[in-house]
Amino acid sequence: MSSEKKKILLSQGSGGKQSHDLIQDLFFNYFNNEILNEAGDSAIFKINSEYSAFTTDSYVVEPLFFPGGDIGKLAVFGTVNDLSVSGAIPRYLSVGFIIEEGLDFNILENVVISMAAAAKMANLRIVTGDTKVVNRGKCDKLFINTSGIGELQPKFTNISSGENIRAGDKILVNGFVGDHGMAVMSARNELKVRAEVKSDCAPLNGLIQQILNVSEDVKFMRDATRGGLATVLAEIAQTKNTGIDLFETKIPVRESVRGICEIFGFDPLYVANEGKLIIIVSGKDTEKVLETMRKNEFGKETQIIGEVVNNHPGKVILHTSIGGKHIVDILSGDQLPRIC
């Protein structure tokens, strides 16, 4: 690999193709081990002879506060969701703060209050932490890392990898996509149109536990954050070399989000979410899971948006509202930096 003049690009943190390549070239290459290589939202391993899930995320969202959330809430729920989609019950969180010298104490305090409330809501504890302060101008106000540990029942250890995905499985999403990205963007000066859209930032552990209580036939779950719904599905189709049919008219997108996306040239399927669960479940359990999800406050607008097919292996085909067919690929380039 000729790397002499290469520079790190914003797109390498986008969650899309360039992120994927960087992770492969560097982290999987050098840190190479069978747990890491599973590449799920959480690492799955045995500790003290029982299965655990372990995950980490740094949050650099700009601005720190936006409609529907803030960096603290995001940091707690983001890690809760990464553990939950692996089938685990989130138990303990660590938090690392990197603070710019001169930040208002009030801002930090409000973020901490928000994190405490989020941890309570998600029913887990923040048990350890670290604080670094860097000189003025050496970071942008506040970055937060959260890492989390969850307990995982052995019967759910293959959800993360999606190894049991088969043709006939259905794909569901628990509501409107694109809200988070458009809420953060509307909170930035960049967007002159002030949209009435709030981030969907939410903890998915309660919803997911309810699903796992009614079905042992959940094949795969992922929260559709950076890269959006499209990237999650394109990745799983490629990784498992399976086909996916996706039905545009079934995918919930708010009118307001659709409007902003049209103006600014975004595709809502690629816009980040912070409370959206993509779930693949066997055909026979689909109705049961759908019913359970719709009863949960974070699943009221759940829709069956697609299915796993034997045709076009490795590809996601979007059937559009006007009868067209498009290949849906992984996000390429950088859509919205510092969205989480």
Span 41-100, contacts to its own copies by CB under 8 A: 42-43, 45, 47-52, 54-60, 62, 91-92, 94-100
Is 126 a residue that touches its own copies (CB under 8 A)?
A: yes
What token pair was written down for 293? 């999800």
Query: What DSSP character marks residue 14?
Result: S
**129 versus 168: smaller Cβ distance to its own copies:** 129
Give, as one character, the DSSP assignment of residue 28: I
Q: Which is nearer to its own copies, 89 or 260 (CB)?
A: 89
- For residue 280, list its beta bridge partners: 171, 220
Residue 93 is which amino acid? L
Closer of 9 and 327 to its own copies (Cβ)? 9
All residues at 6 or more sequence positions from 219 whose CB lies less than 8 Å from its CB, including other chains: 159, 162, 164, 165, 166, 169, 280, 281, 282
On whether the CB atoms of residues 329 and 321 are closer than 8 A, the answer is no
Do the Cβ atoms of 148 and 92 come closer than 8 Å?
Answer: yes
Q: Residue 115: which of 96, 88, 134, 102 has the closest Cα? A: 96
Q: How far is the CB of 185 from its own copies (least distance, A)?
A: 15
- Rounded to a whole number of angstroms, the minimum distance from the CB of residue 169 to its own copies is 26
Backbone CA torsion sign across 169, 54, 19, 112 = positive
CB nearer its own copies, residue 41 or residue 169: 41
Among 21, 24, 131, 193, binds its own copies (CB under 8 A): 131
CB of 196 vs its own copies, minimal distance in Å = 27
Binding part of the chain for its own copies, among 125-133, 155-163, 165-173, 262-270 by CB under 8 A, reads 125-133
For residues 29 and 321, which CB has a smaller minimum distance to its own copies in the complex?
A: 29
Alpha carbons 128 and 125: distance in angstroms, whole number: 9
Q: Which is nearer to its own copies, 125 or 326 (CB)?
A: 125
Q: Does 106 bind its own copies (CB under 8 A)?
A: yes
What residues contact residue 327 under an 8 Å CB cut-off, 6+ apart?
315, 316, 317, 318
The nearer residue to its own copies, 112 or 309, going by C-beta atoms, is: 112
| Identified binder of its own copies from the candidate list 125, 188, 300, 326, rule CB under 8 A | 125
# of chain residues touching its own copies (CB under 8 A)? 82
- How many Å apart are CA 28 and CA 340, to the nearest integer? 23
Are 339 and 272 a contacting pair, CB within 8 Å? yes
State how far the Cα of 65 lies from the Cα of 279, in Å rounded to an integer. 29
Residue 237 CA to residue 24 CA, distance in Å, equals 18
Q: Does 35 bind its own copies (CB under 8 A)?
A: yes
Q: Which residues inside 294-323 make contact with its own copies, applying CB under 8 A?
A: none
Q: Computed from CA positions of residues 235, 91, 130, 199, in that sequence, does the dihedral angle turn out positive or negative? A: positive
State which of positions 142-161 bind its own copies (CB under 8 A). Answer: 143, 145, 147, 149, 151
**Is 115 a binder of its own copies (CB under 8 A)?**
yes
Stretch that binds its own copies, among 106-114, 165-173, 232-240, 268-276 (CB under 8 A): 106-114
Residues 6-25 that bind its own copies (CB under 8 A): 6-14, 19, 22-23
Query: Residue 96: what residue type?
Result: G
* CB nearer its own copies, residue 49 or residue 189: 49
